[in-house]
Copies of this chain bind each other. A is one copy, B any other.
Amino acid sequence: MPEMRRRGLLIILSSPSGAGKSSLAKRLMAWDATMRFSVSATTRAPRSGEVDGRDYYFKSREGFEEMVAAGEMLEHAEVFGNLYGTPRAPVEARLAEGHDVILDIDWQGGQQVRRSVLAQDVVSIFILPPTIADLEARLRMRAQDSDEVIAGRMAKSRDEISHWGEYDYVVVNRDLEISEAELRVILQAERARAVRQPGLTEFVRGLNREFENR
């Protein structure tokens, strides 16, 4: 019911690196321009060309930790000595405006968001590769990394994949076109859920007024 303003969905997309998650996220945003990609906060230094608020929200460690203490991070983690996290306020604002928000986070972030104040808005989707050979080939294609780096990534992938069962939906990404269609179907169905359509309450009130005036 497009004429009723609905609250946005908080879409958790997780997958091992190389399974096509970023390509699928971009395709979803191209399909529906009202969707928003969540911008992470980080304590690492900006790289050349990176813009605060677009690529990341750049924070001091103290500033970041204060946000965590104040419950202003939906999820966060330390990676190689830097903190990364998802600030709650911008996500909440977009959802209230009716934008679906995509979170590209791993299983640990997913668990934190599912336990957060925004749990009711969450739709979680795990992208699996068709084969591990395929996953490794995509990782090797992407960068000329050493075998050690690749081995580390593959170990992390295996750990990530072991959490597929915690997600609402699972898509095996054999083909980007088909997987995109599956994701679109999932999002369209989630938008039709009764709990996602607060406008229905008013709509049914209207039907009841009609009953009374018969």
A residues whose Cβ falls under 8 Å from a Cβ of B = 1, 126, 128-129, 131-133, 136, 154, 158, 161-162, 164-165, 167-172, 182, 185-186, 188-190, 192-194, 197, 200, 203-204, 207-208, 210-211, 214
Given A189-B190, A192-B186, A200:B154 Cβ within 8 A? no
Beta-carbon contact of B170 and A208 below 8 Å: no
Beta-carbon contact of B1 and A172 below 8 Å: yes
Within the complex, the shortest CB–CB distance from A154 to chain B, in Å, comes to 7
CB-CB under 8 A from A211, the residues of chain B are 132, 154, 158
Within the complex, the shortest CB–CB distance from A5 to chain B, in Å, comes to 15
CB-CB under 8 A from A204, the residues of chain B are 128, 161-162, 164
Supply 16 A–B pairs (Cβ within 8 Å), ascending by A.
A1-B172, A128-B204, A128-B207, A129-B207, A131-B210, A136-B214, A154-B211, A161-B207, A164-B194, A169-B189, A169-B192, A185-B188, A185-B189, A185-B192, A188-B189, A189-B189
Within the complex, the shortest CB–CB distance from A86 to chain B, in Å, comes to 23
Within the complex, the shortest CB–CB distance from A53 to chain B, in Å, comes to 33
Closest 4 CB pairs between A and B? A189-B189, A132-B210, A185-B188, A186-B189
Beta-carbon contact of B169 and A132 below 8 Å: no
Within the complex, the shortest CB–CB distance from A80 to chain B, in Å, comes to 23
Stoichiometry, copies per complex: 2
Beta-carbon contact of B126 and A203 below 8 Å: no
Given A185-B189, A194-B164, A203-B128, A208:B158 Cβ within 8 A? yes
Please measure, in the bound complex, the distance between the C-alpha atom of A172 and the C-alpha atom of B192, giving whole angstroms: 10
Please measure, in the bound complex, the distance between the C-alpha atom of A164 and the C-alpha atom of B203, giving whole angstroms: 11
Please measure, in the bound complex, the distance between the C-alpha atom of A87 and the C-alpha atom of B91, giving whole angstroms: 47
In this complex, what residue of B is CB-closest to A174? B1
Beta-carbon contact of A154 and B207 below 8 Å: no
CB-CB under 8 A from A132, the residues of chain B are 207, 210-211, 214
